[in-house]
Structure 1
């Protein structure tokens, strides 16, 4: 029986559930659908699309070593996928299509329509758990609902990990050579600008690179992760998120790498290892939320009452935030890091998000969209979850009365101003105290091309607090 492996966000050969299942079931072809219209609709960043294309080149080489041809087909939007795949299945006499599950409203609808069209041809459609450690719907409260608080979700995950640790899938065996050849991978798409040359060098493609980075992090940095992860100038985070988002790494691989460096423990032993495993579970949590509360896939607040917040229409302030021209050095340095590298340090993602949604009182959806349009690791569940957490509209959200002060955050997590100096060289000559709040120098402050603060922190904080106080007291969490 000839199988078709449909690659999506799972661009690897090792520990790939659907690929292994396909090759165990019969001789296998692989396909990837180029869908620029859908990617634009989902605000996928040009650097993210470029990362996909570069990883496809590496994937093709890995598949060729298994004698699996990789075909490339065009499906402008996901609504075109059923017809494109049906045609391919007829041409190649495919018996079954194998995929790894994806989540979100559009992904679920796409797969349902593909399965229905293939069923009319007598072609099977088999979907596998791969992107997550646990099947959505298997981690539930006693009443049978999805968890809305991370700590409670994590507790059940720990129980499951104790009793049934997810195993990695064996690498498939080489199959007999087929007569069909792999297709050429496009190096760019006209609808997506080619990123600056620095981004591919920062984020090289291929699972060999991803595996090497994972092992180096686990062996050299994991045990200090809890102490160093909040300092953006230090290499304290794994920076593996682009590889996880594209499926070049699996969460199982990450979990097992951490466990192997922590004597098999996930809630004891090294505090750094435990903290990092908890970050993997946060990723898991937000994916489960995406399934259990579909409104977050529809640009709606998780907490419906917060839809009544009086978000401000302030295009000039939004543009200043986007361009790294707010007059608050840590905010501006973080935004410039994003624009230059396609990535932002996680602590800074929270700081800039809270500044936009609280100090500027601009709708979190503006920030969510801007991040997706620039992040190489853009992921709907994680990005939405993070933004709604910072805006106090989401699950397990930061209390609405807690606002990060960007100057205090700067002094705490970049005390010597090294991160700021790297991204804001115009401030490099300021001393270690003044660099966090140059406007406090008053008339002594004169730096060419660096703006004054666009908002008063005290007044804007009070404005945000009042906006939340005015919300209805009762929350309805129905969809």
Structure 2
């Protein structure tokens, strides 16, 4: 009984639920769809597409060791997926298709259409839980709804973890050889520029590279994670997000690595491990939000009343933010990190997002889109969740909305100015006091070539507060 494994955001053979299930049921072939039109509509970054292709090449070699051929088919978008998959099934006498669940509204619609089309042709469809620890709908409030506040969601997750830890799936054993050959993996896709070699070298592809990064983090850094994760000049974060977004690592692998570093504990013991497990659960939370509140997949605010915020249209200020020339060093350094590496430190993501949505009062959707177009770890759930949290349109237990001051954040989390000096060499000559706010030196002493701030932080803060007061929201005086 020939099986088809349809790879999507799960580019690995270890701990892969759908692959394991397919190979346990019969001879298996694998498929990957290249869909450039869909990727463009989803604002997928060129560096992320390149990362997918590089990981596909590694996956193809790993599958070859299992005697599983990997077929590559191209279609413009997901509307064509049912017919393309069915054609592959007919060509190779496939009786069942296996895939791991994805949770955006477009992904869910795609899978329903594929399943219905295959059913018409007596081909079975099997979807599997894989990119989450808990199936959406299994972590609910007492009234049966999806959680809207992370802390309450985390509490129920802890209860489930205490009852049973999600187990990892065994690596499949090689099947009998098949005469079918794998297809060549494309080196590039039209419409997506090739990133620099410097960027590519920061993110080596393949499961082995991902495992090594996870093991190194768990062995050397996770214990310090709570204390160092907010300091962008320190190697305090795991930098595993691109591998999780592409499915080169599973959340189960990450959870078990953390538990191994903390004597099996996830809510006690080493504070660094507990904090990192909480970050895994934040990732989980935002994906459950996609399912429970599908409006966020439609570019709508999680809090419907915030659709009435009077966002400003300020294209010149938006461009200054995008290009890292706002005159606020921590903002500009963070944006340059994003543009050159395809990644941004998480603390900085919050700082630049609040600056755009609060100090510039520009619609969070502009920032969300720009991030997706540049992030190698771009993920709808996490990116949307983070932007809406920062913009006070999303999930947040606080009864008022917060505004980070970029200068005080810079002073607190880059106290020596090391991160700023790295990304803004034009400010390297300033001391650790002045580097956070060069404008305070005055026109005569400010460094030449670096712009003045594009906005007054105090007045712009009051403007944002007034915009939310107009919604009747409780805000600080």
Q: TM-score, normalised by structure 2?
A: 0.98
CA distance in 2, matches of 1:26, 1:221: 42
- The answer to whether the aligner puts 1:78 opposite 2:89 as a matched pair is no
Deviation, 1:24, is 0.1
Q: TM-score, normalised by structure 1?
A: 0.98
- The answer to whether the aligner puts 1:17 opposite 2:17 as a matched pair is yes
Match of 1:286 in 2: 286
Q: Is this contact kept in 1: 2:16–2:130, CA < 8 A?
A: yes
Q: Is this contact kept in 1: 2:36–2:190, CA < 8 A?
A: no
Deviation, 1:398, is 5.5
SS state at 1:403 partner: coil
The CA deviation string for residues 5-34 of structure 1, in whole angstroms up to 9 with x for no partner, is 000000000000000000000000000000
Match of 1:32 in 2: 32
Structure 2 unmatched runs, 5+: none
Match of 1:331 in 2: 331
CA distance in 2, matches of 1:409, 1:398: 19
CA distance in 1, matches of 2:347, 2:105: 29
CA distance in 2, matches of 1:250, 1:231: 26
Cα distance 1:287–1:92, how it changes in 2: closer, same or farther (>3 A)?
same
The CA deviation string for residues 173-221 of structure 1, in whole angstroms up to 9 with x for no partner, is 1000001000000111121000111111000000000001000000100
SS state at 1:443 partner: coil
- The answer to whether the aligner puts 1:377 opposite 2:377 as a matched pair is yes
* 1:164-203 equivalent positions in 2, closer than 5 A: 164-203=164-203
CA distance in 1, matches of 2:145, 2:54: 40
Structure 1 unmatched runs, 5+: 475-479
SS state at 2:443 partner: helix
CA distance in 2, matches of 1:432, 1:192: 40
CA distance in 1, matches of 2:181, 2:285: 40
Match of 1:142 in 2: 142
Deviation, 1:396, is 1.9
CA distance in 2, matches of 1:114, 1:472: 45
Cα distance 1:212–1:101, how it changes in 2: closer, same or farther (>3 A)?
same
Match of 1:349 in 2: 349
SS state at 1:71 partner: strand
* 1:212-291 equivalent positions in 2, closer than 5 A: 212-291=212-291
Match of 1:90 in 2: 90
Match of 1:152 in 2: 152
Q: Is this contact kept in 1: 2:400–2:473, CA < 8 A?
A: no
- The answer to whether the aligner puts 1:109 opposite 2:109 as a matched pair is yes
SS state at 1:444 partner: coil
CA distance in 1, matches of 2:240, 2:24: 30
CA distance in 2, matches of 1:473, 1:425: 42
Deviation, 1:140, is 0.3
Match of 2:441 in 1: 441
The CA deviation string for residues 274-321 of structure 1, in whole angstroms up to 9 with x for no partner, is 000000000000000000000000000000000000000000000000
Deviation, 1:401, is 3.9
Deviates more, 1:395-404 or 1:338-347: 395-404
Deviation, 1:75, is 1.6
Q: Is this contact kept in 2: 1:400–1:468, CA < 8 A?
A: no
Match of 2:366 in 1: 366
SS state at 1:33 partner: strand
